[in-house]
Structure 1
Amino acid sequence: MPKISAAGLEALDKLIAETLSAGKLPGFALAVSNLDEQLYAKGAGNKTYGDPTSAQVTDESVFWICSMTKLLAAIAALQLIERGELTFDTPVSKIFPEFATPIIVKEDKTYEPAKETITILHLLTHTSGINYGFGVGALHILPEAYRHVYDAVNPHEQFFALLKGEYPEIPLVFEPGASFAYGFSSDVLGFVVEKVTGQTLEAYSRKNIFDPLGVKATYHLTAELKEKLVDLTFRNADGSIANWENRAAVIQRHPDPVYANFGGIGSYSTLPDYVTILRHLMQIEAGRDVSTPILKKETVKSLFEPKLNDAGSQAINFMAFFLVQNSAHYRNLNWSTGLAVSTNDWEGRRKTGSAFWSGWAGSWYFMDPKTGISLAFASQIVPTIDQVTFEIADKAEEIIYANLE
């Protein structure tokens, strides 16, 4: 099993030190693993940007991992499919009647009834037609359904009402299964898990994913974890960094009560804990005899298999080109039952069949089953797809693959 050479570890240390000294990022961290063990984990900077008296960011610091949550929600739903409590073909309307009569909204805002039924597979693959809303605003402002202050009285119903917005039914951008649209599918999937199990997504995930793997990932911050949470920051148009200063609402979190557990954006984790989950999945995929496997081998393999049709593939690649224009690697992408997959080798980096995604507030991860390497990198900075976080994560990957032995 490959490890990072001494020269590679030194190069990673240098990258982190140079990034910190240049002031390119607020507090950040990196964690790397092979199939056997964690190979590297280090943080840098301060919990609060510009405050040298605040806690140092370490490998034990907590990050809001945002859309890296989508993999966790997919794992929960895939477990229910393995147990026979759901199937890929289960209509979402069977669990939530609000999805019985969705509508297809056209560019002129007219609409017509959808002909196809939204299924669990559509939610897993983001082919449901549910996007992040019509006319989404600035990249540092979350959609209203995330910013809303939920109460304890049926948060699912409140969420679906926000999805409807000005329309009489749940609006879709295409017929279910016709293409790919990145959006609230994972959140709906998480609510399905809650409805089917009678538990919150936090309680279910704690019992069936987090505790069996010995990780402290969570949808609910505690006072202790909040103390370790790296503060959110903002990158100005000139590239400078500023403190967040509540410039826009985020999801509900401690000390406020959390009534809506978002499977698309709602979890928090240290990077070593998240990489522990990735390593566990890759051990299962590799046929390792692991204790307390959270999924079966054939299910894990589906996380690395493209599921989109041609239209869906074109859609995800268009989105990737728009968001990461300065990289030749984020091309020829597809989506599996939980995350994006690469359909070709990236020269000097991850191999065909690697799976990956990122998070709204500056986090990135990937799993490469051919080499056994997994990586997670995070800061806490928006607008989303911050190019500096992307460049540092990309450079770290380049160093790792150049120094495997």
Structure 2
Amino acid sequence: MAQFDEARLSRIKGWMQSYVDTRRYAGCSALIAQDGAEAFYHECGLRDVENGTPWSRDTVARIYSMTKPITSVAIMILVERGLVHLDAPLSDFIPEFADARCLREGATDITQTEPCDVPTLHQLLTHTSGISYSFNPGLVPQAMGEDRLDFWPGSRTLEQVAAALSELPLVFKPGTRWEYSVGIDLIGRVIEVITGKSLEAFFIEEIFDPLGMNETRFSIPNGTEDRFASMYTPLSGNSFDLNSAQKSTETLNLADSLAKTPFKASKMHSGGGGLLGTIDDYLKFTEMLRCGGKGVLSPHTINFMMRNHLSGDIASMGPSSFAEQPMHGMGFGIGGAVILDPARAGVPGSVGDFSWGGMASTFFWINPVHQLSAIFFTQLSPSSSYPSRAQMKALVHGALM
């Protein structure tokens, strides 16, 4: 196993500081562990520009889509117990999806649909279900945006938004394409139906408590309000409205803060993007995956999750959607992306790297070849604003000797 060159590893500090100095990120932190031991940690900048509060290791941040791997682990716990199988149709758990319809090829109106198969749980987990996100292009995403069907934090519940989403058609026939979606939010609702518990309660009982993730929750954890980071955007409008994004002359426009955040007491347990947490909590999760489950799941189940579940790479399935990772040379497993060919992906790494990110520019990856867990935290939306993920991977792999 390759070790790190400390001088090369320290380059990450200057790189992070450059993002802060140029007001691209307000603040950020990076944490790298190798074979279970901490190899690097650094923080810089502010978690609240308006009040001048420094970014710290215990900063509570929105991890958004880095919630998806946690929800994926949760459903695999139920699979291991024989309570569900991945080829089960969604309608077995959410009956509103029973009469599935999808847009006809070339549809110009959302009413131009045809019958199709009900998506399976496996298709929901791998973004091949025909479900979408409002920030993707197209008729259905536009309707999702109008009705706020992206499972945003707030007063509506997972059950309510899932039922409303069932009234829209699918974008394509399940299994025929890849499109980034709220499918894993629907998996969260499936977990609630099977267990009779709220998604958060199941997470706490089966994942958070066993791993000691005591500051990862769907609302700001009690006693951590003063550590909650503000979120910023370089856009002039909504930081999630990628279809009509307009750059602003100000690179750090306040998008969400403790004073107005819906995360103070959110009823929405968004399995696709709702969790808040600390960088050390998330390291406990990535280390569980890297180490083969640590009793949360079997090593064989973890290996199954971290394999490519597509017929080729993501690009071969013709996506037009936003995604948190490259699409060429990149497959998709259960809850995260899998490197098939680093050269085609255009980012240094190893075959088998498992990763995903969040809309506020957070990111993690696990390298099974070098036994690495690497996590980057910041709070800037959208995550497509800067190439920090590829840059950090290059810095880390450039430091391996």
Q: TM-score range by the shorter chain?
A: 0.7 to 0.9
SS at match of 2:75: helix
Q: Give distance in 2, aligned partners of 1:341 and 1:14.
A: 29
Over 3 Å counting, the alpha-carbon distance change for 1:145 and 1:401 in structure 2 is closer
Q: Give distance in 2, aligned partners of 1:204 and 1:17.
A: 39
Q: CA-to-partner distance for each residue in 1:14-40, whole Å, 9 max, x for gaps?
A: 223333333331111111112222222
- 2:310 counterpart residue number: 308
Q: Which of 297-306 and 261-270 deviates more?
A: 297-306
Unpaired runs of 5+ residues, structure 1, are: 285-289
TM-fit CA distance, 1:313: 4.3
TM-fit CA distance, 1:225: 2.5
TM-fit CA distance, 1:251: 8.0
2:275 maps to 1:276? no
Read off the aligned partner of 2:155 and give its amino acid letter: Y
Q: Give distance in 1, aligned partners of 2:248 and 2:150.
A: 30
Name the TM-score, length of structure 2 as normaliser. Answer: 0.85
Q: Give distance in 2, aligned partners of 1:209 and 1:337.
A: 17
Q: Which one of 393, 397, 402 corresponds to residue 393 of structure 2? A: 397
In the comparison of the two structures, how many residue pairs are matched? 376
Unpaired runs of 5+ residues, structure 2, are: 236-246
TM-fit CA distance, 1:170: 4.1
- 1:287 counterpart residue number: none
- 2:328 counterpart residue number: 331
Q: Which of 69-78 and 174-183 deviates more?
A: 174-183
Q: Give distance in 2, aligned partners of 1:67 and 1:187.
A: 10
Q: Give distance in 2, aligned partners of 1:92 and 1:115.
A: 13
The answer to whether the 8 A contact 2:100-2:117 is kept is: no
Q: Give distance in 2, aligned partners of 1:162 and 1:352.
A: 40
Name the TM-score, length of structure 1 as normaliser. Answer: 0.84
Tell me the C-alpha RMSD between the 2 structures. 2.8
Q: Give distance in 2, aligned partners of 1:141 and 1:96.
A: 22
2:368 maps to 1:369? yes
Over 3 Å counting, the alpha-carbon distance change for 1:398 and 1:384 in structure 2 is closer
Over 3 Å counting, the alpha-carbon distance change for 1:349 and 1:317 in structure 2 is farther
Q: CA-to-partner distance for each residue in 1:108-134, whole Å, 9 max, x for gaps?
A: 223444332322111111111111143
The answer to whether the 8 A contact 2:154-2:263 is kept is: no
Q: Give distance in 2, aligned partners of 1:317 and 1:136.
A: 14
| Percent of paired sites with the same residue | 23
The answer to whether the 8 A contact 1:316-1:334 is kept is: no
- 1:180 counterpart residue number: 178
SS at match of 2:355: strand
Read off the aligned partner of 2:361 and give its amino acid letter: G
The answer to whether the 8 A contact 2:140-2:169 is kept is: no
Q: Give distance in 2, aligned partners of 1:112 and 1:74.
A: 30
Q: Give distance in 2, aligned partners of 1:246 and 1:226.
A: 14
The answer to whether the 8 A contact 1:180-1:311 is kept is: no
TM-fit CA distance, 1:266: 0.4
Over 3 Å counting, the alpha-carbon distance change for 1:118 and 1:18 in structure 2 is closer
TM-fit CA distance, 1:235: 0.7
The answer to whether the 8 A contact 1:32-1:41 is kept is: yes
Q: CA-to-partner distance for each residue in 1:163-216, whole Å, 9 max, x for gaps?
A: 24xxxx342111222221211101000111111111111111111111111123
- 1:378 counterpart residue number: 377
Q: Give distance in 2, aligned partners of 1:157 and 1:319.
A: 25
2:262 maps to 1:263? no
Q: Which one of 231, 240, 243 corresponds to residue 250 of structure 2? A: 240
SS at match of 2:270: coil
Structure-to-structure mapping, 1:76-87, within 5 angstroms: 76-87=74-85
TM-fit CA distance, 1:311: 9.0
